[in-house]
């Protein structure tokens, strides 16, 4: 694998992680607003 390919892959992985973290924060924010317990967060993540 070339250095360039590795850099592209690393960048994509970073973007994916950021997107997942963002989604978790969104869901967490929604559950806070609804006042539901954390079980909703986990059930949403499982589907």
**Cα 20 from Cα 1, distance rounded (Å):** 27
**Cα 30 from Cα 18, distance rounded (Å):** 18
Q: How confident is the model at residue 8 (pLDDT cuts 50, 70, 90)?
A: confident
The residue range of the domain holding 9 is 3-46
**Distances 35 to 2, 5, 8, 9, 14 between C-alpha atoms, Å:** 49, 45, 40, 39, 31
Q: Provide the number of structural domains found in the chain.
A: 1
Which pLDDT score is estimated for 37? 59
Averaged pLDDT, 7-21: 84
Provide the whole-model pTM: 0.47
The phi-psi region of residue 36 (left if phi > 0; otherwise alpha if psi is between -120 and 50; otherwise beta) is beta
């Amino acid at each position: 694998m070339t250095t360039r390919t590795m850099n592209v892959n690393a960048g994509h992985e970073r973007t994916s992680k950021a997107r997942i973290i963002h989604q978790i924060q969104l869901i967490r924010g929604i559950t806070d607003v609804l006042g539901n317990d954390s079980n909703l967060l986990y059930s949403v993540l499982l589907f």
